Amino acid sequence: MNLSQEDKKIIYDSIRDIEDFPKEGVVFKDITTLLNNKEAFQVLMNHLEQRYESYDLDYIAGIDSRGFIFGAALADRLKIGFVPVRKKGKLPSTTVCEKYELEYGFDEVEIHLDAFPKKNARVLLIDDLIATGGTANASAKLIKHIGADLIEVCFLINLTFLEGDKKLKEHASIYSILEI
The reply to whether 114 falls in a domain is yes
- Rounded Cα gap, residues 39 and 126, in angstroms: 21
- Rounded Cα gap, residues 31 and 29, in angstroms: 6
The reply to whether 28 falls in a domain is no
Amino acid in the structure at residue 122: R
The reply to whether 175 falls in a domain is yes
Print the domain residue range for 101: 55-179
Strand-pair partners of 175: 154
**Cα torsion angle, 72, 74, 79, 82, sign:** negative
The pLDDT tens digits for 127-168 are 999 999 999 999 999 999 999 999 999 999 999 999 999 989
The reply to whether 88 falls in a domain is yes
Q: Which of 149, 139, 159 is nearest to 95 (CA)?
A: 139
The pLDDT tens digits for 42-76 are 999 999 999 999 999 999 999 999 999 999 999 99
The reply to whether 16 falls in a domain is no
Q: CB-hemisphere CA count at 13 Å for 11?
A: 23
Give the pLDDT score at 167.
Answer: 86
The reply to whether 29 falls in a domain is no
The pLDDT tens digits for 16-35 are 999 999 889 989 999 999 99
101 pLDDT tier (thresholds 50, 70, 90): confident
52, 1 Cβ separation under 8 angstroms: no
Give the pLDDT score at 103.
Answer: 66
User: What total of structural domains would you count in the chain?
Assistant: 1
Q: What is the CATH number of the domain that holds 126?
A: 3.40.50.2020
